[in-house]
């Protein structure tokens, strides 16, 4: 299934993509015993019966809305948590000058606020404080079944599906006073990663039964049609299953939690002469089986 949240920002409704149209899921949710006005998150633990409900809705001729006639928002509009993984592709570290003999072995996790979420065609907004505006294409995992201390070999049972995400970064706002005072704890991760619109996601959540294994998902990024990133998810240092294990060892995962899995080589920060994003640029990200997401850059 390809699941979406559609409609005006802040008032998105859950839907399922059928061909080039969206099937609103309000009645389907009610038919399977969930709140008719609930978000897509409420249905994630019940994907099996949700699929049956969608089949029934199509047979009885429920309304279909052409995708071209509505806005797609972030598929999960109300995640309990957004966990982001950094330093998960060695190629991205090497291009920034990290010694290949000293690669990290543990995942690095930080949080983004839900206000960073935006839809797959919504503009990403460069703050007035930022001059080094960057992109990071990342495969995103959505949790369908919660739990604590989930082992990697059982993690797939807890994943609802995958979607595209862009971990937008204000590179020049991260340093803060960390270099001036030679104190790494002063690095400003939230200031670099947590602004509004800094996590476009979409265009839809592809459930695991349709997406299949993550390994052969090709991750590609273009800026104004210039190729910037091209890698496969199997190049991750820590797999999505290992990330689920790592995060759930610390905190209980809940349905709707989002885990982004790090970016491969190719962001502007790794270039000898960085090509930072500027207003008018368009960032297009494609991933095998997950669709395409194109966002434009605007100034605050």
Q: What is the pTM of this model?
A: 0.96
Q: Is residue 22 located within the same domain as residue 91? A: no
Q: Is residue 163 located within the same domain as residue 25? A: no
Domain boundary among 22, 39, 69: 69
Q: What is the torsional sign of CA 269, 274, 280, 281?
A: negative
Q: Is residue 48 located within the same domain as residue 88? A: no
Q: Is residue 138 located within the same domain as residue 245? A: yes
Q: Is residue 51 located within the same domain as residue 168? A: no
Q: Is residue 247 located within the same domain as residue 295? A: yes
**Is 167 among the domain residues?**
yes
Q: Is residue 16 located within the same domain as residue 110? A: no
Domain boundary among 14, 39, 69: 69
**pLDDT tens for each residue of 188-219:** 999 999 999 999 999 999 999 999 899 999 99
Block means of pLDDT (10 residues each) for the chain, 300 residues, are 97 97 97 92 96 96 96 98 92 76 85 98 98 98 98 98 98 90 89 97 97 95 98 96 98 98 95 96 98 98
Q: Is residue 63 located within the same domain as residue 88? A: no
Predicted local confidence at residue 55, as pLDDT = 96
Give the angle subtended at the CA of 163 by the CAs of 296 and 144, to the nearest 5°. 140
**Is 76 among the domain residues?**
no
Taking residue 282's Cβ as centre, other Cβ atoms within 10 Å add up to 14
**Is 242 among the domain residues?**
yes
d(CA 154, CA 162): 17
Q: Is residue 98 located within the same domain as residue 132? A: yes
Predicted local confidence at residue 232, as pLDDT = 97
Predicted local confidence at residue 192, as pLDDT = 95
Q: Is residue 51 located within the same domain as residue 101? A: no
- Number of folded domains in the chain? 2
Predicted local confidence at residue 61, as pLDDT = 96
Q: Are 195 and 125 in contact (CB under 8 A)?
A: yes
Q: Is residue 91 located within the same domain as residue 64? A: no
**pLDDT tens for each residue of 22-70:** 999 999 999 999 999 889 999 999 999 999 999 999 999 999 999 999 9
In three-state form (DSSP H/G/I as H, E/B as E, the rest C), the secondary structure along the chain is: CEEEEECCCCCCEEEEEECCEEEECHHHHHHCCCCCCCCHHHHHHHHHHHHHHHHHHHHHCCCCEEHHHCCECCCCCCCCCEEEEECCCHHHHHCCCCCHHHCCCCCEEEECCHHHEECCCCCEEECCCCCCEECCEEEEEEECCCECCCCHHHHHHHEEEEEEEECCEEHHHCCCCCCCCCCHHHCCHHHHHCCCCCEEEEEEEEEHHHHCCCCCCEEEEEECCEEEEEEEHHHCCCCHHHHHHHHHHHCCECCCCEEECCCCCCCHHHCCCCCCCCCCCEEEEEECCCEEEEEEEEEC
| Full domain range(s) for residue 59 | 2-69
Q: Is residue 46 located within the same domain as residue 92? A: no
**CATH code for the domain in which residue 235 is found:** 3.90.850.10
């Amino acid at each position: 299934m390809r699941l979406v949240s559609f409609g005006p920002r802040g008032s998105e409704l859950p839907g399922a993509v059928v061909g080039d149209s969206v099937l609103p899921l309000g009645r389907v949710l009610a038919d399977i015993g969930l709140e008719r006005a609930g978000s897509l998150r409420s249905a994630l633990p019940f994907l099996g019966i949700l699929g049956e409900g969608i089949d029934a809705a199509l047979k009885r001729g429920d309304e279909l809305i052409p995708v071209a006639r509505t806005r797609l928002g972030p598929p999960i509009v109300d995640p309990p948590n957004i966990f982001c993984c950094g330093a998960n592709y060695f190629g991205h570290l090497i291009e920034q000058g990290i010694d290949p003999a000293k690669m990290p072995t543990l995942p690095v996790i930080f949080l983004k606020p839900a206000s960073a979420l935006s839809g797959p065609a919504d503009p990403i907004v460069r703050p007035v404080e930022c001059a080094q505006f960057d992109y990071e294409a990342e495969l995103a995992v959505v949790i369908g079944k919660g739990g604590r201390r989930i082992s990697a070999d059982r993690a797939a049972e807890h994943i609802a599906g995958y979607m595209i995400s862009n971990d937008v970064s204000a590179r020049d706002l991260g340093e803060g006073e960390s270099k001036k005072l030679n104190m790494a704890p002063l690095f400003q991760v939230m200031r670099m990663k947590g602004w509004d619109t800094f996590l476009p996601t979409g265009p839809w959540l592809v459930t695991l039964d349709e997406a299949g294994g993550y390994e052969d998902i090709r991750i590609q990024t273009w800026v104004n049609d210039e190729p910037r990133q091209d890698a496969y998810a199997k190049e991750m240092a820590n797999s999505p299953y290992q990330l689920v294990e790592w995060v759930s060892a610390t905190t209980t995962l809940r349905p709707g939690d989002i885990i982004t899995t790090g970016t491969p080589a190719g962001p502007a920060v790794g270039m000898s002469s960085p090509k930072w994003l500027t207003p008018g640029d368009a960032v297009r990200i494609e991933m095998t089986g997950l669709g395409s997401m194109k966002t434009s850059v605007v100034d605050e």
